[in-house]
Amino acid sequence: MARRSSWFRNTAALAGLLCLGLSTAHAETADEYIHRGVEYHDQGKFAEAVAEYDRAIGVDAQSAVAYYERGLSHFAQGSVALSIVDYNEAIEINPALDAAYYNRGVSYYNQKNLPEAIASYDKAIEINPNAADAYYNRGLCYKLQGDSARALSDYNTALRTDPGLSEVENYNL
């Protein structure tokens, strides 16, 4: 499952944009394009979301969030390879963006590239040791590689980190 970055959830400026009700005709900043892209994404309008993120990148080519969010929309469209390109760009700009590593891991997992998925989850966990979903997904990779001991260790860590993580409780080892 894709995960939003904490930047989007915590940015007061974007909440202010919602209150102002800015129209598309007045959007000038990368943040405004990103906000609209997220709205399109959440409505399932992924092509429109990508177009908004393209505009954001046109305004600010150093916006890690624009690349990251575009990666989510590419992934939702089934363009897994493009999502990886965008996550890599986001990581290049902001190496501390744990959600980009996590979602890159999801993309690699979907390509059945387990070593790269594990490496991405490792980095997400290094940045955010409380990323229960990264432990869980890395455990899935280990399980597919036949390493049940490491899978179980990651599942247990995921449950300790987030006791409500139902995916782990329902997984049969």
Give the DSSP letter string of 125-161: HHH-TT-HHHHHHHHHHHHHTT-HHHHHHHHHHHHHH
Split at pLDDT 50, 70, 90, the class of 23 is very low
Domain ranges, ordered by start, for the chain: 6-94
- In the predicted model, is pLDDT for residue 10 greater than 80? no
The mean predicted confidence, pLDDT, of the chain is 87
Domain 6-94 class, CATH top level: mainly alpha
Segment 141-166, tens digit of pLDDT: 999 999 999 999 999 999 999 988 87
